[in-house]
Structure 1
């Protein structure tokens, strides 16, 4: 469904849950959130009936009312800090390959085909719909080297109402096929400028879509290209996204290609590509000096645990990064990652931390509360939306999902006619709200995401759901 052009005042009644801090969830079992015509939260009431709220806020008496039914709750929209839109058709096709082989076998051929506007329309429209259906209200997208179809992705995100950082990929080195690379540094910069200008022309305020400068990763770019992109980022005050220290073979390749650099991260630092507006995907094997560089620059990290496991890249030490004060969000990294769901990444982040805990001790484990923070407030910090989205406080913008959990009826489907109306989450009725949230985190999927709003606008609704 397309995003509506305008909204009215709306009061959302029912349970709501959001991250209060990295380690604490704020759970309100019965409350009300008032959202104005601009999609901004104007009041939050707890333990109040509809009548009491309407009496207190008389000017809202004509507001639309949206109620949670059954075992559901409102939760902030998820933020995907790293994914590749043109790789969506390859989801699940990482096979037995390593990262560099996988790029040549699957990624570059698929991305090259996305020069076609009809094919790009089909792929991008489907992927944006798919991510929205999983509750993702903001996404940092890599596109391809093609300006027209990169701009098309921005058009689709704006039309659907999904917040997005959309990046035209830059790659001018011999690592890429001759048919799929920038012809020169000048052409890479000119094409990047063209896409930046277009995206800013369709959304001048950047409230929904923003451009992001996107050197694919250091080996795909010459030193001259990286430096030119660093200068372009400063000139245009634009966000930057790239990859860093994903796996051992990649790190070795960087060392051979950039022999004068002290480290993979130092390559970006030398090119002026490290800043508070930089998103570094993966960061699995950062050394202590590299971590110091990232922290001093204020750059952010996108943790992509499903992809890192699938391509056997390693397990990022997220507990250590958090303890050092680094900003971390979650990324699906489709199609290295096998799912467009940030909820799935929450689970994978928990599992990955437990793999580290088997050698390092229980302190390495991430909790349910922590991964939900990374999926919302942490991600908001990574993409430059800290304080605007990720929680339900007055003054924040209402990016939210309605989570609905099914109830196991008497008999428990003993007749064999199992409908699974609540997806894979079975709620028996004795679970408290904390336990329902945990069941959702460990067993939920897109079937539990009944509706999604961005800035108060309904941008996704499951068939049969009324809001």
Structure 2
């Protein structure tokens, strides 16, 4: 990429909860240190022809389309890369039997020739080739949906996990990648000694909560199990967190651990409704996760709309209390600036401010011809009279990867959608 680039057009972000910020102007992105950082902003610029000169440079200018805008890259705070081939496959199962029936066999096939998925194979199994194919697809898919940062689970296989790391690096996605370590006390001590990031699950399913109580009867709660083993830290991501008790919420707050809300997965597996508003009001940091393949889609935009829907169900089961409702603006915050807090990159990702990294997606809602007909593909119908707040809402509820035209990570162009 060039050392400096100017971006002109409409910039949409949600720097805080329920605050949709829509601005037109120009940003100068500089990358002398190898990372694209917003070095200067001018919100008085009104045309691309004056963008570079007003910022005091002579560099290329990239302009968003008339019905387009720049938006911070999505942050997926919880996704199982190894499970991507099973996205959309649930049968009639719930969490624990789904894991046994679908997930464990697939994950083992990416690292072990003894996996039951190879039982009827007529050719010699090649687990690492399969891992490479799966990881190439999932990283390409998430980037195409606008995800610039992801917190990935891999498998127990070290070689397969290394493949995931290599592919993420080559494709340019910002990623945390960890092996599935199961119940190994040594890893708890290692995390403490090295001050490592931790990703795990908590209170996803009522039967899971019961099982944890049976396995650890000396602890009062699921949260206390983690706390006893010093696994609740400011660098811990707790996925799902559906069935937490008030005392557990308080412990998580004190430990400054983070919550990954995975609404699509929670609904698909019948796990329950996460009371996100309660957690936000309690001062917890919350982001969104696709939880592929418990979640059926690699899109954080899909997770955002599911978060809105689930919040209304939470309100319903609390007597129609609308205070539980998450707005479109709230959901977009969770998928960007909120997610940045969860992955420890607050102030670096999730908004358009000087000093922040250029992890950005360019969204295009489609152009209209002289007859008022929409020219581009996609499911967002724009008539031309909508306010920009309503255009953004239409994108959240109806948009998909067809609206994601370009994606940058640290200023590097990592995805450009080709016209069909």
- CA drift of 1:20 comes to 2.9
Q: Which moved more, 1:278-287 or 1:426-435?
A: 426-435
Q: How does 1:94-109 map to 2 (within 5 A)?
A: 94-109=90-105
Query: Are the equivalent residues in 1 in contact too, given 2:48–2:63 (CA < 8 A)?
Result: no
Partner of 2:352: 392
Query: Are the equivalent residues in 2 in contact too, given 1:139–1:163 (CA < 8 A)?
Result: yes
- Paired residue secondary structure (1:301): strand
- CA drift of 1:459 comes to 0.5
TM-score, normalising length: structure 2:
0.92
Partner of 1:234: 192
Partner of 1:27: 22
State the alpha-carbon separation in 2 of the partners of residues 421 and 461 from structure 1. 15
State the alpha-carbon separation in 2 of the partners of residues 252 and 276 from structure 1. 26
Corresponding residue to 2:395 among 408, 415, 440:
440
State the alpha-carbon separation in 2 of the partners of residues 343 and 51 from structure 1. 33
State the alpha-carbon separation in 2 of the partners of residues 95 and 353 from structure 1. 25
1:266 aligns with 2:221: no
State the alpha-carbon separation in 2 of the partners of residues 57 and 117 from structure 1. 49
- Paired residue secondary structure (1:402): strand
State the alpha-carbon separation in 1 of the partners of residues 372 and 349 from structure 2. 39
Corresponding residue to 1:340 among 298, 301, 326:
298
Partner of 2:37: 40
1:89 aligns with 2:88: no
1:150 aligns with 2:172: no
- CA drift of 1:70 comes to 2.7
Partner of 2:381: 426
Query: Are the equivalent residues in 2 in contact too, given 1:7–1:457 (CA < 8 A)?
Result: no
- CA drift of 1:420 comes to 6.9
Partner of 2:76: 80
State the alpha-carbon separation in 2 of the partners of residues 55 and 98 from structure 1. 59
1:16 aligns with 2:14: no
Query: Are the equivalent residues in 1 in contact too, given 2:15–2:337 (CA < 8 A)?
Result: no
- Paired residue secondary structure (1:20): coil
**1:213-272 CA distance string (max 9 Å, x none):** xxxxxxxx2xxx2x3222111112210000000011100111111111111111111111
RMSD after superposition: 1.4
State the alpha-carbon separation in 1 of the partners of residues 86 and 260 from structure 2. 21
- CA drift of 1:357 comes to 1.6
Query: Are the equivalent residues in 2 in contact too, given 1:82–1:330 (CA < 8 A)?
Result: yes
- CA drift of 1:293 comes to 1.1
State the alpha-carbon separation in 2 of the partners of residues 39 and 404 from structure 1. 22
Partner of 2:314: 356
State the alpha-carbon separation in 2 of the partners of residues 64 and 412 from structure 1. 32
Corresponding residue to 1:53 among 51, 54, 60:
51
- CA drift of 1:409 comes to 4.2
Partner of 2:214: 256
Query: Are the equivalent residues in 1 in contact too, given 2:70–2:362 (CA < 8 A)?
Result: yes
1:163 aligns with 2:186: no
Corresponding residue to 1:450 among 393, 405, 408:
405
- Paired residue secondary structure (1:35): strand
Query: Are the equivalent residues in 1 in contact too, given 2:72–2:350 (CA < 8 A)?
Result: yes
Instruction: Tell me the matched-pair count.
Output: 399
Unaligned residue ranges in structure 2 (runs of 5+)? 112-126
State the alpha-carbon separation in 2 of the partners of residues 403 and 461 from structure 1. 11
- Paired residue secondary structure (1:41): strand
